[in-house]
Amino acid sequence: MIADALLFVHFCLAAFITLGFFLIPVGYKLGWNWIKNRNLRLLHLFLMGFITVETIVGLTCPLTVLENMFRDADYSSSFISYWLAQILYWNLPSEVFVLLYSLCLGWVLTLWKVCPPIQKMSDG
């Protein structure tokens, strides 16, 4: 059950990062103020940067390590956790992920320039 919860958190973080790639430029164009929130954007940038660096240096994501630890050798999963794992974990060479994550980090950095966050949210 803990492993399923970790998988769900992992999936939500991946969804947050992925949706950010699309919602930031669209929301900026449509004038959505929450898209310009500096803390939200810093979290998005930090997570994408962390994932890129850990992939480049060859580390496994800490959430994946914890999930595998709690799953132990007996991999019994629920229907939902099975499909979340299918969406989240791809069986591709690490070079593909280094390239993909580097491109995604480049996109996030580009969004900071093209769709900059507000320096400080004003009151009212």
Contact 109, 21 (CB under 8 A): no
**Beta-carbon count within 10 A of 94 CB:** 10
Phi, psi for 29 (deg, rounded to 5): -65, -35
Distance CA 13, CA 79 (A): 20
In the Cβ-directed half-sphere of 90, how many Cα atoms lie within 13 Å? Answer: 8
| Percentage, residues of the chain above pLDDT 90 | 56
Count of beta carbons in the 10 Å neighbourhood of residue 117? 20
C-beta of residue 4 within 8 angstroms of C-beta of residue 81: yes
Please give the pLDDT value at position 124. Answer: 47
Give me the pLDDT at residue 87, please: 77
Over residues 18-69, the pLDDT tens digits come to 999 999 999 999 999 999 999 999 999 999 999 999 989 988 888 888 888 8
Which ranges in 72-93 belong to alpha helices (H)? 79-88
Give the residue extent of every domain in the chain: 2-114
Supply the pTM of this predicted model: 0.79
For the chain, strand residue ranges (E) read none
